[in-house]
Amino acid sequence: MNLVKHIPNMFTLGNLSCGTLAIVNIFNDEPKTAVYLVLLAAVLDFFDGFLARLLKVSGELGKQLDSLADLVTFGLAPACLLYSLSYNIHGIYRYSFLLLAVFSAYRLAKFNLDTRQTTSFIGVPTPITGITVMSMAMIDGGFFYELVFDYEYGYLVFCAVVSMLLISEIKLPSLKIKKGPISNYYQHIFLLLVGIVSLLLFQWLCIPIFYAFYVLSSIIINFAAKKSS
């Protein structure tokens, strides 16, 4: 048995384990611990792909396993967090969190079949969406938090928007840096600056801010490209 080819899968299973433990912590009323577990899972998620390419052991099993792990960690765990934080939301509105779980599953299945998403993404990636949702547990107050978790329509709109963006046709850049001219990375540099400045000024709120600029800047760039063609 060639253990080397299974090293990336071990990282993927670590991602899945962190996601499962995050769900346990959410329902044990330890949402902040869950956030750190999902962040650790994101690191493992990065390295499973990196190691697969480095060791040249990429395969269909790893691809499918990665999607299953991402569904738990960045789809189901954030959906559970939304439910746990929505105690001020009543009636059918509270079940809006299901949208995130459902559309995460749809996106991941679609991603595995979509040949257009080799160097960029079509729709917001599940890990970025999941981390953004999980960051709400660390913000825990302020206008944005209250808008989402104290008002039924705010909660519904938030759940619907982040869910629909997962399967949207918006072209977004991969945040991985590869060889190429610096002109290919102007958006990356802009997003890095947004991330650093918002981190210094707003702490955990920097994650939703980064998410918003990531999506909006991509929409603007796509619109400009279509207009010039």
Return the domain boundaries, the chain. 4-171
pLDDT greater than 80 at residue 146: yes
Q: What is the pTM of this model?
A: 0.91
87: pLDDT strictly greater than 90: yes
Q: φ and ψ at 122, to 5 degrees?
A: -110, 105
- Residue type at position 98: L
**CATH numeric code, 4-171:** 1.20.120.1760
**Residues 26/84, Cβ–Cβ less than 8 Å:** yes
Q: Return the closest-CA partner of residue 208 out of 142, 150, 136, 141.
A: 136
| Cβ atoms of residues 26 and 80 within 8 Å | yes
Give per-residue pLDDT as tens, 167-213. 999 998 887 766 666 667 788 888 899 999 999 999 999 999 999 99
- Over range 28-37, report the average pLDDT: 96
